[in-house]
């Protein structure tokens, strides 16, 4: 089983920046782009292959020695981007927001399993939907896409979400948190102190934390260490970033190389073939790679939620010797 691994052999020069558009010079970026696009073409030509992750989770659910009463189904907090515009590395701008399918599919899975979902954004603004996420290639059928659009346009709980400050004040009333992806995350959520505090809160209480596609980038901006530090994660891959920038956005994002940044901050980052359905669960932390991974993400998140309701706590597995 094959994965794209982001960690490189050897150490980086001490003078090399670790984040932002200045990480490499223009010639290096051009060469990297050419190589990655060529590699992407090869991988897409072999798209029948199925990829899966190689790294083991760092933490595992540990249950009480004596069975405990299962917690009732509670509310799950969905944090959405309200950013409607993104400035790219060349100073051009594009419309952005939350990726619709990464919001709607997990929402259906959780509410279908009997959980209530509460939405929140920075400042309580109505969420933005990335226009790219309406493209037919991200949807199995047009009816599902139309259903999702009606939901975000009409549902009162989506149109008038909580502010992140209000959600932070009410954190104890939720059983878990989900942050869908989309480039909007990189605009108004990446450095959001209230979101950082919420993620640390749920992580410390062994409650499920779900981060989709671009959303794992938030982990790189949280204070280290935190309850989620050092975990095995996935996110949008470097191949997928280059593809999006080249064929969708037309320029580099200001914040990019998410897998590399996660590795730089001590996380074990795994990514599968571009466009593969791939998600990782490291006890209560569930991450996924792209819009095609929502079914797998939802299944793993529901597993983590069921374990939490049965009293599970996250601990290292003494058998694998990791500390």
pLDDT tens digits, residue range 94-107?
Answer: 999 999 999 999 99
The confidence score (pLDDT) of residue 34 equals 59
Residue identified by tokens 């290096």 is: 28
Average pLDDT of the segment spanning 75-104 = 97
The confidence score (pLDDT) of residue 51 equals 45
Instruction: Using alpha carbons only, give the angle 145, 102, 232 rounded to the nearest 5 degrees.
Output: 155
Beta carbons within 10 angstroms of residue 106's beta carbon? 25
Q: Specify whether the CB–CB gap between 283 and 202 falls below 8 A.
A: no
> Residue 35 — very low, low, confident or very high, per pLDDT cuts 50/70/90?
low
How far, in Å, CA of 94 to CA of 131, rounded? 10
Residue identified by tokens 């499920």 is: 208
Rg of the chain on CA atoms, in Å: 19
* Residue 188 or 45, more confident: 188
Beta carbons within 10 angstroms of residue 166's beta carbon? 12
Exposure letters 42-58 (e unless 16+ CB within 10 A, then b):
ebeeeeeeebebebebb
Q: How far is CA 291 from the centre of its chain?
A: 10
Is the pLDDT score of 12 beyond 80?
no
Is the pLDDT score of 21 beyond 60?
no
pTM for the predicted model, two decimal places: 0.85
The confidence score (pLDDT) of residue 17 equals 31
Chain mean pLDDT for the chain: 87
Average pLDDT of the segment spanning 26-37 = 54
Beta carbons within 10 angstroms of residue 119's beta carbon? 22
Output the six-digit token pair for 133: 């996420």
Among 232, 233, 228, residue whose Cα is nearest residue 288: 233
Is the pLDDT score of 19 beyond 70?
no
């Amino acid at each position: 089983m094959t994965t794209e691994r982001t960690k490189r052999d050897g150490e980086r020069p001490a003078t090399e920046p670790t984040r932002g558009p200045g990480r490499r010079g223009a010639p290096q970026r051009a060469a990297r782009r050419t190589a990655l696009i060529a590699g992407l073409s090869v991988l897409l030509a072999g798209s029948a292959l199925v990829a899966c992750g190689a790294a083991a989770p760092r933490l595992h659910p540990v249950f009480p020695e004596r069975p405990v009463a299962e917690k009732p189904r509670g509310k799950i907090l969905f944090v959405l981007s309200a950013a409607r515009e993104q400035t790219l590395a060349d100073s051009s701008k594009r419309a952005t927001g939350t990726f619709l399918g990464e919001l709607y599919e997990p929402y259906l899975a959780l509410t279908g399993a009997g959980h209530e979902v509460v939405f929140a954004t920075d400042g309580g603004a109505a969420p933005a939907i990335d226009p790219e996420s309406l493209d037919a290639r991200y949807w199995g059928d047009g009816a599902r896409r139309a259903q999702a659009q009606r939901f975000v346009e009409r549902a009162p709980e989506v149109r008038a979400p909580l502010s992140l400050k209000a959600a932070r004040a009410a954190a104890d009333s939720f059983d878990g948190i989900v942050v869908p992806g989309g480039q909007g995350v990189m605009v108004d959520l990446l450095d959001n102190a209230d979101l950082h505090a919420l993620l640390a809160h749920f992580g410390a209480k062994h409650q499920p934390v779900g981060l989709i596609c671009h959303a794992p980038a938030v982990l790189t901006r949280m204070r280290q260490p935190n309850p989620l530090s050092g975990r095995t994660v996935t996110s949008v891959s470097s191949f997928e970033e280059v593809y999006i920038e080249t064929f969708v956005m037309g320029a580099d994002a200001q914040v990019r190389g998410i897998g590399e940044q996660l590795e730089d901050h001590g996380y074990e980052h795994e990514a599968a073939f571009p466009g593969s359905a791939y998600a990782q669960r490291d006890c209560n932390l569930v991450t996924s790679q792209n819009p095609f991974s929502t079914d797998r993400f939802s299944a793993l998140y529901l597993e983590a939620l069921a374990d939490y309701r049965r009293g599970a706590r996250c601990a290292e597995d003494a058998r694998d010797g990791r500390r």
